[in-house]
Structure 1
Amino acid sequence: MKLRSTTHGIAREEGTPSSDAFGVRTWGETVMAVLADGAGMGEPAREAAQRAVRSLLENYEARPRTWSPQRALTEFTQLLNRTLYQESLARFDRPEMVSTLAATVIEGDRLYGVNIGDSRVCLARNGTLEVLSEDHVEADRTHVLTRALGMAPDVEPHVFERTLQNGDITLLCSDGVSNHLSTDELAGELAASGTARGIVKAAHKCASEETMDDMSAIVLDVAQTGRLRAMSERDLSIPASLRKGEVIDGYELVRSFQDSDRVWLAEKNGQRVVLKFAPLEAADSEAHLNAFVRETWNATRLDSENIISAHEPAGQTARYYVMEFVDAPSLSKVLQDRRLSVDSAIGLGRFLGEAGSTLLRRDLVHGDIKPENILCVGDYAKLSFKLLDLGSAAEVFSVTSRAGTASYLAPERFHGAPISERTEIFAMGVTLYQSLTQAFPFGRIERFQTPAFHAAKRPTKLNPNIPPWLEAVILRAVARNPQRRYQHYSEFIYDLAHPEKVEPFFEDDAPLLERNPLGFYKAGFYILLLLTLWLLMQLLTRP
């Protein structure tokens, strides 16, 4: 199955806990998503929502094999309802642990679901959104639930089932989202961004102070039904060694790349391509195999002129994927001979920001932005660029290790901070600095080193051709304090496109002479003036 899941939630008020809860779990051939909205802002409602998500995920995974998905969803929902109702009576003498519930299970090409209350489940197909769930609310007072978990000793959940097609998108959301976005607007947001974060942010923008509510969403984007598991379980060989002239599935191996025998230039029917083979460890390690399957999935589902295109050929017998071949040197090779011109560097920065934005729309970050992973297309007068190697690509905020190349890692990454837009922008800034100066802003950092980051040398000291505004952009991108760095790719791209609006940037500990030369000299002038006057007074008052 080729499926991407994203989740996102925000509380009604910043700094307060949300009454929404949600979770996604994958095991075997099953993907399950559960979302619950506690009825009220109190702790019992919040606990009920959290219990509902945790209980349904755990119970369904261990369900009896003889139960159908519909029966399992119904049985476990009714069991959960009785538990919450009885516990509420015992603890509060009335139903307080009350929550809505929306849950879906994907097995193969079938979608099974259940809901109670007004949390919705929708299915997007070919730009049209179908609401699969029922809203259990009063006709005239839609904020009043007529059915919910824990509200009564017995409950009858709404159960539904659909056949999935490639490209279908399933959305689960709380009423905080569905009350602010119509069905057509939800369909439009799914088509535009395709992520839970995009849906929730759009709903949040539409909310007023009076209608603000907890908001949460889960998006399950089914690129291909059943394919991801099939990719890992296909009987594909992993060649122990590869040799020049060897033919695999009609591809003749021409030469290896990157000092590795796992990436090869190959030729088939007169067309040159690049083949990337699974690492040898994948033959015996499920973790390495899954990592390569994930890399293949990420590489083949991205469609952007900024990123090398990739696909899996039909009928392949070995575990590899095919990438387009671009006959161009890497930026690293170019920098061995010369620095980039200012115009080319500006183009490089905008390219990196746009490529990062493309990945983020899939909730991904590259994870290893550096000159070795950037191709330079064209001549010195007019360069364009291509990003390659998605081997380190990961979901944003999902990695807290030092994965990547040490010299391009943001300072916080050395102390367990997750990978994010800000850490990617740091790597982009280091790449720009290196492209214009052939040096690193903080020196070359070894893989297992935990460096102490001192103020970066201003790039104009190494290359006086750099305009002050571009220096400010680069220094802000590599700021040691992540709060002072660009927070989003869009800010980075905007400044590169509007030099007249770029403000000077200085680190917090920069000396006054560097931060404000005019102020420094003014202060010096007044100090000297006062000293002169004092000396004059001393001279005049001497006997």
Structure 2
Amino acid sequence: MKILTTSHGIAREEGSASSDAFAVRAWDETVIAVLSDGAGSGAPAREAAQRAVSSLIENYSARPRSWSPRQALTTFARILNHSLYQESQVRYERTEMVATLAAVVIEGDTLHGINLGDSGVYLWRNGGLHTLSTAHVELERPNVLTRALGMQAEVEPEFFSLSLQDGDVAMLCSDGVSNHVSEEDLSTALSRHSSARSIVLSARQQSSEETLDDMSALVLDIQQTGRLRAMNARSLTIPATLSKGDVIDGYELIRSFHGTSRVWLAEKDGHRVVMKFAPVEAIDSAPHLEAFSHEVWNATRAQSSHFVRAYEPPALTTRCYLMEFMDAPSLAAVLRERTLSVDSAIALGKFLAEAVQVLLRLELAHGDIKPENILCIGDYTRLTFKLVDLGSAAAIFSVSSRAGTASYLAPERFHEAPISERTEIFAIGATLYQALTGKLPYGQIERFQTPAFHAARRLSRINPNIPTWLEAVIHRAIAIQPQRRYQHYSELLHDVCHPDRVQPFHEADTPLIERNPLAFYKIGFFILLLTALCLAFRLLTLK
């Protein structure tokens, strides 16, 4: 494969920030190019466009092996759309983070693409220009979008695909270019293998003060196609039953985990791993199969020391993925014997705050932070941790259900609030509370229960060894009202790392005697003094 790529963009006004974003990435015999135009010149639209480009490229680069390009592109676009829409509602209480999307993937000798909005995708071949994208605009008002990322809660991207030939030229551009360069001029430019910079500057020259806009373009000059076949050409099987002693792709099954027959300790050539297989329901159920593919995707791209390493060996013929085996107890198992020391709890707080930040960079939330999903490595004096089970992981702001474990769900999650940094921080706080006391801050909550939350018992009343600053951190993390909680992971991590800067915290309905005992007794003293003076004055007047 030999593809030459050029890209160029200019803002509407010199010195201002452009609302267009674009990028290209290539590996093996795969090239992905993405362009997005923020709907407006404000910061939310600009952020939406930048997120669209980075998210789609990162996600596609780590897509499950079993997904076709169409499934991957459309699925990632839907997830991104829902995330932007939900985040707009949370941050601005209206639709603000809106952007167009144009993306093409070239794998071997085939081009696959999607688009939303009015950013165009074109292909020049043998003297003719072909428009591959569909403009989602109103007929009477072509500047009004009918479909775009973040505009509605659900969206269906337009998909297109075609076989490529040596000498083809593909181009993606924002409407700032397509509105100013005719198809005839564009065909001529691509026939001459003009660069993206040349095309954008030509559009700029043909614009007027009234039509001036952000302008950007990506040109893919396909000098020689590859011969790579689709990554999902392998036929992956799903075993209906699994038993001790079975050999799957060279791995011998030793024992199952967690009371399930789909997660096994396995061994190959003396090396032990954990194998997680697709559920039996996935044999006949597309939603179950897609859910497992999502899990594989999330697990294999979360590459950090905070997580157990997960991977898909290329030679596997079974629908499963592998994880490194760590012979370590869960935090839940440790807590059945003892609570954590203060030092270990502080280390756990730092670890969890860092781990969720790693996931946030992938636009993910864990979704089920609890002691059962944390491995404890080491002895009582020096514990380190690993966060496991990304089966519930989801795009941030994408889930509005009660997915997860009820006792660790933030109060707003019981009322259809989306998963967010604030809700994940609540789960971290509940886990730290339990780690130090052996108790849940709001008691055991059943899955289908909608609880009424009241101020949790102060940590120091259960465990007097807990320092005041750490108590404040945990109670702020589990605050009932989300606006009183830490709003971002970085705030939580800062306080855990800087005890001297932690501000006192109490729930709004906490009695004054608990919030500020000194003030309570001072007020009580003056009330009693005033009462005594009043009584003395009354006695004197009676005489």
Structure 2-normalised TM-score?
0.69
CA contact (8 A) 2:36 2:101 kept: no
Of 127, 131, 136, the match for 1:73:
131
CA–CA distance in structure 1, aligned partners of residues 38 and 468 of structure 2: 41
* Secondary structure in 2 matching 1:504: coil
Q: Point out where structure 1 has 5 or more consecutive residues left out of the alignment.
A: 35-45, 89-95, 121-130, 165-224
Cα distance, 1:239 vs structure 2: 1.1
Q: Which segment is superposed worse, 295-304 or 420-429?
A: 295-304
CA–CA distance in structure 1, aligned partners of residues 488 and 508 of structure 2: 21
After TM superposition, the structure 1 = structure 2 runs for residues 381-400 of structure 1, keeping only pairs within 5 Å, are 381-400=381-400
CA contact (8 A) 2:70 2:159 kept: no
Cα distance, 1:536 vs structure 2: 0.8
After TM superposition, the structure 1 = structure 2 runs for residues 242-321 of structure 1, keeping only pairs within 5 Å, are 242-321=242-321
Of 217, 220, 238, the match for 1:161:
220
Residue 378 (structure 2) pairs with residue 378 (structure 1): yes
Cα distance, 1:109 vs structure 2: 11
CA contact (8 A) 1:472 1:502 kept: yes
Distance 1:10 1:418, change over 3 A: farther
Distance 1:433 1:7, change over 3 A: farther
CA contact (8 A) 1:437 1:459 kept: yes
After TM superposition, the structure 1 = structure 2 runs for residues 339-418 of structure 1, keeping only pairs within 5 Å, are 339-418=339-418
CA–CA distance in structure 2, aligned partners of residues 409 and 526 of structure 1: 43
* Secondary structure in 2 matching 1:304: coil
CA contact (8 A) 1:118 1:134 kept: no
Partner residue, 2:173 = 115
CA contact (8 A) 2:35 2:174 kept: no
Distance 1:72 1:253, change over 3 A: same
* Secondary structure in 2 matching 1:300: helix
Tell me which amino acid in the other structure corresponds to 1:237: T
Give me the CA root mean square deviation. 4.5
CA contact (8 A) 1:272 1:325 kept: yes
For residues 383-440 of structure 1, the C-alpha deviation after alignment (integer angstroms, 9 at most, x for no partner) is 0000111101111111111110001110111111110111111100000000000100
Distance 1:270 1:108, change over 3 A: farther
CA–CA distance in structure 2, aligned partners of residues 268 and 19 of structure 1: 50
For residues 130-158 of structure 1, the C-alpha deviation after alignment (integer angstroms, 9 at most, x for no partner) is x956664689xxxx77359x969xxxx97
Cα distance, 1:299 vs structure 2: 1.1
Cα distance, 1:375 vs structure 2: 0.4
CA–CA distance in structure 1, aligned partners of residues 493 and 38 of structure 2: 27
Distance 1:76 1:451, change over 3 A: closer
Cα distance, 1:71 vs structure 2: 5.0
* Secondary structure in 1 matching 2:513: helix
Cα distance, 1:161 vs structure 2: 2.6
Aligned pair count reads: 430
CA contact (8 A) 2:255 2:264 kept: yes
CA contact (8 A) 1:104 1:114 kept: no
Cα distance, 1:234 vs structure 2: 3.6
Distance 1:253 1:163, change over 3 A: farther
Distance 1:134 1:33, change over 3 A: farther
Distance 1:245 1:108, change over 3 A: farther
CA–CA distance in structure 1, aligned partners of residues 231 and 397 of structure 2: 27
Residue 519 (structure 2) pairs with residue 459 (structure 1): no
CA–CA distance in structure 1, aligned partners of residues 393 and 438 of structure 2: 26
CA contact (8 A) 1:253 1:266 kept: yes
Cα distance, 1:13 vs structure 2: 6.0
CA contact (8 A) 2:278 2:319 kept: yes
After TM superposition, the structure 1 = structure 2 runs for residues 331-342 of structure 1, keeping only pairs within 5 Å, are 331-342=331-342
Partner residue, 1:146 = 206
Identical amino acids, percent of aligned pairs: 51
CA–CA distance in structure 2, aligned partners of residues 392 and 4 of structure 1: 30
Partner residue, 2:109 = none
Tell me which amino acid in the other structure corresponds to 1:425: I
Cα distance, 1:119 vs structure 2: 7.5
Cα distance, 1:73 vs structure 2: 2.7
CA–CA distance in structure 2, aligned partners of residues 521 and 6 of structure 1: 64
Q: Which segment is superposed worse, 473-482 or 291-300?
A: 291-300
Tell me which amino acid in the other structure corresponds to 1:146: Q
CA–CA distance in structure 1, aligned partners of residues 492 and 509 of structure 2: 23
After TM superposition, the structure 1 = structure 2 runs for residues 52-71 of structure 1, keeping only pairs within 5 Å, are 57=115, 71=129
CA contact (8 A) 1:118 1:145 kept: no
CA–CA distance in structure 1, aligned partners of residues 306 and 133 of structure 2: 49
Structure 1-normalised TM-score?
0.69
CA–CA distance in structure 2, aligned partners of residues 75 and 293 of structure 1: 28
CA contact (8 A) 1:244 1:254 kept: yes
Partner residue, 2:191 = none
CA contact (8 A) 2:100 2:117 kept: no
Partner residue, 1:421 = 421
CA–CA distance in structure 2, aligned partners of residues 357 and 108 of structure 1: 39
Partner residue, 1:539 = 539
After TM superposition, the structure 1 = structure 2 runs for residues 79-94 of structure 1, keeping only pairs within 5 Å, are 87=141
CA contact (8 A) 2:115 2:134 kept: no
For residues 146-193 of structure 1, the C-alpha deviation after alignment (integer angstroms, 9 at most, x for no partner) is 359x969xxxx97833569xxxxxxxxxxxxxxxxxxxxxxxxxxxxx
CA–CA distance in structure 1, aligned partners of residues 468 and 351 of structure 2: 21
